[in-house]
Amino acid sequence: MTTGGSSDNLPLSGSFTVLAAPEKPDLVVSHVRWVPRYPTGQDSVIFICQVLNQGTGPSPSGVIHNVAFRINGQLYSRSADFTQSIPAGGAALLAANLGVSGNNRWPAQLGTHVVEAWVDDQNSIPECIEDNNRLADTLEVIPVPPENLAYRKPVIVSSIEGPGLEGDKAVDGFYATRWSSQFSDPQFIAVDLGTSRDIGKVVLTWEAAYGKTYVIQISNDSVNWVPVTAVANGDGGIDILPLTAHARFVRMYGLQRGTEWGYSLYEFEIYGPASTSSLEHNASPDGQVQSIHLENNYPNPFNPKTIISWHLEVSSRVNLTIYNLAGQTIATLVDDRFPAGSHSVEWDASHFSSGVYLYKLETEGFVETRKMILMK
């Protein structure tokens, strides 16, 4: 994709004079994107791209600037309504408005796909350069993530350590904020789900100040509480607590702090029962359900090394990647084929700062992400 121009050398009276060719555009696709940015298996997707004019003159006005969008090599949709001139050095954002089969929205399919945008694929606009109009990128469609029932729900707490550490910080979906109680026992944080819901799992992501002994309780009136599970010797990090319950209110009731400080939670997450289409299963070629397990890293929190383990029932290619909370790739620990069985890898985070990180395991037909805390 280069800025282009052209010229002709014509002989005149035994000498050569350079005559400039007419100014022409040079249209290139600089970005191809899809809406939404990270689709799931239940989304429909509209493709968009940014078209740059890197030529010496404007593109023609009144002529459709066609962009063809292909998925895995097959033409699916077009942008076929933009007729404005793009000046030299300018750009335009074009979206697919015309579907080849009548639908310009692609029903997302699980897996990784190659999406290609090709501007002026029918050569209707003369350009300086005609062979730099295409750009391809990969698109990953992930399984529908489970719904966090606690997300942005009303919260009741026994106390707060101070301003900025209120209870709603534990249900905002942001692992850089937290609720923190006063430095005494007992303390609690309760989430109001708004209506009675089936509950299959509670996930607590602790800050350095954690609960050593605590009870998960449920209620339908926020007055009468029933214990459903308990932790007697907690060590912080991320506590994943499976349970079977049906209630409107869910409460973490802290009986003994693990430190001299209070109870401090980055996130209090509540999930419904696991469905039969759980991510922890993968269909083998003969139709039998095979299990894939991604384990919690150990230790967690850690400093500076931790072990990540997984189990395969069948041989599969495995990719294990570390991300920060902004979604940026920090490290790729594994990208290879592994035989059936249990495997593990160590991550040395000596060169990274304290905080919450994500690790994602991808195999053929399986994706799962978990959280871990680096604490220096």
pLDDT given at position 146: 80
Indicate the domain borders of the chain. Answer: 7-141, 155-271, 281-374
Closest by Cα among 227, 275, 276 to 247: 227
Q: What is the pLDDT of residues 325-346, one digit of tens each?
A: 777 889 999 999 888 888 889 9
Lowest mean pLDDT among 55-59, 103-107, 288-292: 288-292
What amino acid occupies position 21? A
Closest by Cα among 93, 22, 23, 25 to 59: 25
- In this structure, the strands spanning 74-79 and 67-71 are antiparallel
Closest by Cα among 183, 145, 195 to 40: 145
**Residue 229, CB-side half-sphere exposure with 13 Å CA sphere:** 16
Residue 26 burial (CB count, 10 A): 23
CB 127 within 8 A of CB 24: yes
- Over residues 146-165, the mean pLDDT reads 95
Q: What span, in angstroms and rounded, lies between the C-alpha atoms of 319 and 332?
A: 8
Q: What span, in angstroms and rounded, lies between the C-alpha atoms of 62 and 68?
A: 19
Q: Which residue's structure tokens are 């304290």?
A: 354
The residue among 25 and 120 whose pLDDT is bigger is 120
Q: What span, in angstroms and rounded, lies between the C-alpha atoms of 358 and 328?
A: 10
Closest by Cα among 352, 223, 240, 219 to 294: 240
CB 206 within 8 A of CB 266: yes
Q: What span, in angstroms and rounded, lies between the C-alpha atoms of 108 and 38?
A: 10
Share of the chain above pLDDT 90, in %: 54
- Over residues 247-252, the mean pLDDT reads 97
Closest by Cα among 139, 126, 129, 130 to 49: 139
- Over residues 254-258, the mean pLDDT reads 97
As assigned by CATH, the class of the 7-141 domain is mainly beta
Whether residue 36 is preceded by a cis peptide bond, meaning omega within 30 degrees of 0, is yes
pLDDT given at position 290: 44
Q: 234-262 burial string, b = 16+ CB within 10 Å, else e?
A: bebbbbeeeeebebbbbbbbbbebbeebb
pLDDT bracket for residue 21 (50, 70, 90) = very low
* Residue 308 β-bridge partners: 345
pLDDT given at position 5: 36
What amino acid occupies position 209? A
Q: Helix (H, G, I), strand (E, B), or coil: what is residue 171?
A: helix
pLDDT given at position 291: 60
- What mean pLDDT, rounded, does the chain reach? 84
pLDDT given at position 376: 77
Decide if pLDDT at 40 tops 80: no
Q: What is the pLDDT of residues 201-233, one digit of tens each?
A: 999 999 999 999 999 999 999 999 999 999 998
Q: Helix (H, G, I), strand (E, B), or coil: what is residue 158?
A: coil
Q: What span, in angstroms and rounded, lies between the C-alpha atoms of 122 and 75?
A: 13
Decide if pLDDT at 277 tops 80: no
Structure token pair of residue 262 = 């209070």
Q: Could you write out the DSSP letters of every residue in 29-50?
A: EEEEEEESSS-BTT-EEEEEEE
Residue 39 burial (CB count, 10 A): 20
Q: Does domain 155-271 have CATH number 3.40.50.1370?
A: no
- CATH code linked to domain 281-374: 2.60.40.2550
pLDDT bracket for residue 147 (50, 70, 90) = confident
Q: Do domains 7-141 and 281-374 have the same CATH topology?
A: yes
